[in-house]
């Protein structure tokens, strides 16, 4: 009997230790969420400094540094249309200290085009929120003699029709939404144009200014150049005109009623990040986007737009399906 009691006591102790051990991860997660953040946060950006994604990341980082009382450091890991940055965060510890700031291309286009992606947009990330929604602006350089006389979309398409596979457009990378926008325009207008990929939106814009390419779907960072006469805006890519360029028509007005392409800048944590941390980030970013000073700065980059993590995940799922149809229609193929 004594031996049986001893064995029973040993079994109970072992079971208690096992239960305690099993609860340690959840207890640690809860503790980290309660005290979060206790160290600097790193924002990993897959595009070049000065791009819309980079500027939005720095605006949000400055605001969060104040509200969360920890520094936010922005790290630019450019290349492969944002894939390098996405891979880095997908493989990071899910503790809320390594965060991806990305555009929709990296999340809802790359998975449809690249075989060796090394991340799954729905399995490897915890969506936090979108920050802004951004239209593209179809622009040409008026000093570029190759597009001399191009004053509107019609004259651009007429030129492309006269010079098949010659008129070139730049993008922020293969498979980037800028690429899809150019391919979609060519498909709808039934013309053949040459795609030239760059390593980000800012280098593409520099290529336009240097007359390396003939046109491009630029981000809103090009608006000051448009107003200064350095670039000429022919149209915006969304269904409606952009408030800061009221005289520039939407492509939907110009005989392309189904043309409506924009991109968002969003925030992601690695999958497995405790929900309270994801929610803390979501709440802090939503509050920052409502702050008048931050909102004014964000509006220079796009339309402020925050949402719940669940709504953001649903948006990603819907855009994956939508972009798959767009890629099929435009016959874009990459490896």
pLDDT at residue 33 in the model: 67
Which pLDDT tens digit goes with each residue over 71-118?
999 999 988 878 999 999 999 999 999 999 999 989 999 999 888 889
pLDDT at residue 92 in the model: 98
Ranges of each domain in the chain: 39-133+262-330, 137-254
The region, left, alpha or beta by phi > 0 then psi within -120 to 50, assigned to residue 211 is left
Which pLDDT tens digit goes with each residue over 126-147?
999 999 999 999 999 999 999 9
- Note whether 39-133+262-330 and 137-254 share their fold: yes
Which pLDDT tens digit goes with each residue over 155-187?
999 999 999 999 999 998 887 889 999 999 999
How far apart, in Å, are the Cα atoms of 240 and each of 138, 247, 282, 302, 315? 14, 12, 28, 14, 20
How far apart, in Å, are the Cα atoms of 249 and each of 144, 234, 293? 22, 7, 29
The answer to whether residues 107 and 100 touch, using CB atoms and an 8 Å cutoff, is no
In CATH, the architecture of 137-254 is 3-Layer(aba) Sandwich (3.40)
pTM here is: 0.78
pLDDT at residue 7 in the model: 39
pLDDT above 90 (res 5): no
* Assigned CATH for 39-133+262-330: 3.40.190.150
């Amino acid at each position: 009997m004594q031996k049986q009691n001893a064995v029973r006591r040993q079994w109970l102790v072992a079971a208690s230790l096992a239960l305690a051990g099993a609860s340690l991860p959840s207890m640690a997660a809860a503790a980290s969420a309660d005290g979060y953040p206790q160290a600097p946060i790193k924002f990993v950006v897959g595009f070049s400094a000065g791009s819309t994604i980079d500027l939005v990341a720095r605006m949000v980082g400055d605001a969060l540094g104040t509200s969360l009382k920890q520094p936010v450091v922005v790290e630019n890991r450019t290349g492969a249309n944002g894939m390098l940055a996405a891979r880095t965060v997908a493989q990071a510890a899910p503790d809320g200290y390594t965060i991806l700031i990305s555009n929709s291309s990296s999340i809802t286009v790359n998975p449809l085009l690249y075989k060796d992606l090394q991340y799954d947009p729905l399995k490897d990330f915890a969506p936090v929120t979108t920050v802004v929604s951004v239209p593209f602006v179809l622009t040409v350089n008026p000093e570029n003699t190759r597009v001399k006389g191009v004053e509107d979309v019609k004259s651009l398409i007429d030129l492309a029709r006269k010079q098949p596979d010659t008129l070139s457009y730049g993008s922020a990378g293969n498979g980037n939404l800028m690429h899809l926008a150019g391919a979609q325009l060519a498909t709808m207008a039934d013309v053949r144009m040459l795609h030239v990929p760059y390593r980000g939106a800012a280098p593409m814009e520099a290529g336009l200014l240097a007359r390396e390419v003939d046109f491009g779907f630029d981000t809103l960072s090009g608006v000051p150049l448009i107003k200064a006469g350095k670039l000429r805006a022919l149209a915006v890519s969304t269904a409606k005109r952009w408030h800061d360029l009221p005289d520039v028509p939407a492509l939907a007005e110009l005989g392309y009623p189904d043309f409506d392409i924009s991109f968002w800048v969003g925030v992601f944590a690695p999958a497995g990040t405790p929900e309270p941390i994801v929610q803390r980030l979501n709440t802090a970013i939503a509050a920052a986007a409502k702050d008048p000073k931050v909102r004014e700065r964000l509006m220079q980059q796009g339309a402020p737009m925050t949402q719940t993590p669940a709504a953001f995940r649903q948006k990603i799922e819907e855009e994956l399906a939508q972009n798959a149809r767009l890629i099929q229609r435009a016959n874009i193929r990459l490896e």
